[in-house]
Structure 1
């Protein structure tokens, strides 16, 4: 394997296929808890909705945690890298404008996991949306404001 930084090695062999389901995860720069401010987290949610409205991806489930997000999608068009680049770029712009921040918001790269259709998507969606409960941010999963799933 070439001697590349970890974020570049993640991209080697990555293949995105339309109508395939992926779990995407990315972290804020330095794992800064930017989205403890739920208003800023809503701006990321707005980008998930924008991606769906543009026909780039169908959002199946998501959660925006204080320092990262998990997004379960069905890719519709383009590549995962294009989807994540657009989502990260547009959310950075929105968050920076709303908060007076400057510079990068997200760490370079992202993690993706392609799912087989026969995997239990509902179970994975529940895992995604109960992330705040496991992290100790809320006592009941429905109490956390920055999540959604089409099955719940």
Structure 2
């Protein structure tokens, strides 16, 4: 069942092709399922498929044990369609990889449109530094579940 207030995440949401967005989505009950390497790799494969299908152009991402930060330039479709497809495909991939057949992702997602004048590389560095801030590693290079077009 959706938590009260989830509908507010969608209120006023606007999707604009070619616009830059920082997307964040969380696993159900913040379960740290991506500590499992095959589960993380299966999810990353689905993330990359979104680029191959021209739904978006990924600029940076980090897959944390219980959530994903994803910096994109939106391609065809809407943010909702992109996230729905990603969550659905990644859930199916996780089930095939042996994950329990339960809801993987929390309903909804957070998005933030970025202005062109913002330093996009600074946002990317912030994303990539997430494992350091979480105390998982000392340096970004020690964490294997991230990528960035500039680094």
User: Per-residue deviation at 1:45?
Assistant: 1.1
1-side partners of 2:6 and 2:114: how far apart? 21
TM-score (norm 2): 0.96
TM-score (norm 1): 0.95
User: Per-residue deviation at 1:48?
Assistant: 1.4
Provide the alpha-carbon RMSD of the alignment.
1.0
Structure 1 portions without partners, runs of 5+: none
Structure 2 residue 127 is the aligned partner of structure 1 residue 128: yes
User: Per-residue deviation at 1:100?
Assistant: 4.0
Deviations 1:34-68 (A, max 9, x none): 00112211111111110000000000000000000
Any conservation in 1 of the 2:6–2:107 contact (CA below 8 Å)? yes
Partner of 2:137: 138
Q: Which runs of 4+ in 1 moved over 4 A?
A: none
Structure 1 window deviating more from structure 2 (59-68 vs 36-45): it is 36-45
1-side partners of 2:78 and 2:31: how far apart? 27
Structure 2 portions without partners, runs of 5+: none
SS at match of 1:44: helix
Partner of 2:21: 22
User: Per-residue deviation at 1:21?
Assistant: 0.2
2-side partners of 1:8 and 1:38: how far apart? 33
Any conservation in 2 of the 1:38–1:146 contact (CA below 8 Å)? no
